[in-house]
């Protein structure tokens, strides 16, 4: 039995290893051994200031090797890592620090003056860590030994607290155990065939499960390397692809690469794998990518509370518009949101999942946990989906995005797919807004391709032949772009607010 399963498996195996772990934008290389020495110093400082196993460490800092070492330090010291989106305002951060009862808050030097009063009010210590690796935390840690006695933990102990982006009500803190993270990393490493020879192009943020747990944990487990970029930069990505074997991204990464003629079959010839997630990948992007490079993007589906649930196959057909099959150890079913009964194959309903990847519940929200985590271990994801005759899972939207008009259920995805096919349309979002007669009515928000003018009446006429009358958008509107969060997810709540009075 390991003393600290997550640390020993991901990090401990690399002690004193001279193998390269991170390739940095300036050409520097950081070995596994040097990375773990840095993490040990951080663990020493965190313990020295009085934090004990189970205490929360809130982190709102730019992406850097130091920020990643902080994650390793928390695992080694038995602390709970709480990464926060760098786009959050001071008021938003206040809620997370207060709700989590964090013992220390790390922020960028520039945010110190606005976060100091919050830290003081919450009784949390405040230290700085800048994107260039400087800051008060790093300075103090330099005095600590480069070895640290790993704190014993069990697989059931909480390793991370990740707040959901909460489109309705307050954000909820998902408690992820060592076992949750370990099981998912092991499954994905196996399924996606990662080895020590892999070099992963990493331009994702590390405050989110995709960049932090999926990308990083798989690389650590396999003993591979990461080209560790602060953010997506088109020129940098194109320059680095020849040195990589794999890439993980959000759909916008792929559309931006496709917009550049340098991104070609030759450039990607030796790449092994492109993975997309965090937001739906348009089938059109999938097909254009294959035409251009000969590679089929592997799309998968996960969420903060569960890490990854499904994946298109590594070997076998990667089907555009689907998220593949449930991962080994993950059970997935489609249920009726009213009764909870399992629906026949092919019908649309809510997705429920069960497995070692599913979180332990919401931090200090027992009622919320009971609402979404059934006693038999199935988690109600809030996503709507269906399973086709071949077993591929498709996501058709969020439960709360379901439109009920005149008593009929309308799934936005069906209408969006049709709208996306229309001449001049780059992408679309379909929402329900209040309507006096029908309860809700359908609004289609369209983004035109560059330099295209959309003929909305012609589009309405064309789609009318393919949709029942009650599903047809009563109104089409044009926007230059759709509102998205940092991971590229369309923010339908913002669109609903913007067009709430469309029928008043």
What pLDDT is recorded for position 451?
86
Confidence category of residue 52, pLDDT binned at 50, 70, 90: very high
Q: C-alpha distances in angstroms, 366 versus 43, 80, 172, 372, 470?
A: 31, 19, 11, 10, 39
Residue 328 has pLDDT above 90, yes or no: yes
Mean pLDDT of 450-466: 92
Decide if 348 contacts 396 (C-beta within 8 A). yes
Could you tell me the pTM of the whole model? 0.89
Confidence category of residue 113, pLDDT binned at 50, 70, 90: very high
What pLDDT is recorded for position 203?
97
188-234 pLDDT tens trace: 999 999 999 999 999 999 999 999 999 999 999 999 999 999 999 99
Residue 1 has pLDDT above 80, yes or no: no
- Domains of the chain from N-terminus onward: 31-153 (3.40.50.980), 191-398 (3.40.50.12780), 402-498 (3.30.300.30)
Decide if 48 contacts 21 (C-beta within 8 A). no
Strand partners, 104: 57, 125
What pLDDT is recorded for position 166?
54
Strand partners, 174: 162, 362
What b/e string do you get for 202-211 counting C-beta neighbours within 10 Å, with b at 16 or more? bbbbbbbbbb
What pLDDT is recorded for position 165?
64
Mean pLDDT of 436-451: 89
What pLDDT is recorded for position 2?
65
Give the count of beta carbons closer than 10 Å to the beta carbon of residue 143: 10
What pLDDT is recorded for position 178?
98
135-147 pLDDT tens trace: 999 999 999 999 9
What pLDDT is recorded for position 492?
92
Residue 504 has pLDDT above 90, yes or no: no
Mean pLDDT of 33-42: 98
Confidence category of residue 92, pLDDT binned at 50, 70, 90: confident
- Among 268, 199, 261, 212, residue whose Cα is nearest residue 86: 212
The DSSP string of 224-281 is: -EEEE-SS--HHHHHHHGGG-SEEEE-HHHHHHHHTSTT--TTTTTT--EEEE-SSPP
Q: C-alpha distances in angstroms, 227 versus 17, 248, 319, 328, 470?
A: 18, 11, 28, 29, 50
251-303 pLDDT tens trace: 889 999 999 999 999 999 999 999 999 888 888 889 999 999 999 999 999 99
Q: What is the mean pLDDT of the chain?
A: 94
335-351 pLDDT tens trace: 998 899 999 999 999 99
Helix (H) or strand (E) holding 484: none
155-181 pLDDT tens trace: 999 999 999 865 456 789 999 999 999
């Amino acid at each position: 039995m390991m003393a600290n399963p997550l640390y020993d498996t991901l990090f401990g195996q690399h002690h004193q290893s001279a193998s390269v772990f991170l390739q940095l934008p300036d050409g520097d290389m950081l070995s596994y051994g040097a990375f773990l020495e840095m993490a040990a110093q951080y663990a020493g400082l965190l313990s020295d200031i009085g934090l004990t196993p189970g205490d929360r460490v809130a982190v709102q800092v730019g992406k850097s090797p130091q920020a990643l070492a902080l994650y390793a330090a928390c695992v080694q010291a038995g602390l709970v890592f709480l990464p926060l989106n760098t786009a959050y305002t001071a008021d938003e951060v206040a809620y997370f620090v207060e709700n989590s009862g964090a013992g220390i808050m790390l922020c960028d030097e520039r945010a110190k003056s606005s976060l100091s009063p919050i830290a003081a009010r919450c009784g949390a210590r405040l230290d700085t860590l800048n994107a260039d690796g400087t800051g008060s935390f790093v300075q103090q840690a330099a005095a600590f030994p480069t070895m640290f006695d790993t704190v014993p933990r069990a697989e059931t102990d909480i390793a991370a607290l990740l707040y959901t982006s909460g489109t309705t009500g307050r954000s909820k803190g998902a408690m992820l155990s060592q076992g949750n993270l370990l099981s998912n990393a092991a499954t994905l490493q196996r399924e996606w065939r990662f080895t020590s020879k892999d070099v992963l192009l990493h331009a994702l943020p590390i405050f989110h499960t995709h960049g932090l747990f999926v990308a990083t944990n798989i690389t650590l487990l396999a003993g591979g390397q990461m080209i560790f970029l602060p953010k997506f930069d088109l020129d940098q990505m194109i320059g680095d692809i020849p040195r990589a074997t794999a890439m993980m991204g959000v759909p916008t990464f792929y559309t931006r690469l496709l917009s550049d003629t340098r991104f070609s079959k030759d450039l990607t010839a030796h790449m092994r794998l492109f993975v997309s997630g965090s937001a739906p990948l348009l089938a059109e992007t999938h097909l254009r990518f294959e035409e251009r490079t000969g590679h089929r993007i592997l799309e998968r589906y996960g969420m903060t509370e569960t890490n990854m649930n499904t994946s298109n196959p590594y070997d076998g057909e990667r089907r555009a518009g689907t998220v593949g099959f449930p991962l080994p150890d993950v059970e997935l079913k489609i249920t009726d949101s009213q009764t909870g009964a399992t629906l026949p194959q092919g019908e649309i309903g809510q997705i429920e999942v069960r497995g070692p990847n599913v979180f332990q519940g919401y931090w200090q929200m027992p009622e919320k946990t009971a609402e979404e985590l059934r006693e038999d271990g199935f988690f109600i994801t809030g996503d709507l989906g269906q399973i086709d005759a071949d077993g591929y899972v498709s996501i058709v939207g969020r439960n709360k995005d379901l439109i009920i008009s005149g008593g009929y259920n309308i799934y936005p995805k069906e209408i969006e797919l049709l709208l996306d096919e229309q001449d001049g349309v780059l992408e679309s979002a379909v929402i329900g807004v209040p309507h006096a007669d029908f309860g809700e009515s359908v609004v289609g928000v369209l983004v035109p391709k560059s330099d295209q003018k959309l003929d909305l009446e012609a589009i309405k006429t064309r789609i009318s032949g393919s949709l029942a009358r009650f599903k047809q958008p009563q109104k089409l509107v044009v926007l230059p772009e759709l509102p998205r969060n940092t991971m590229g997810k369309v923010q339908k709540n913002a669109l609903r607010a913007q067009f709430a009075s469309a029928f008043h």
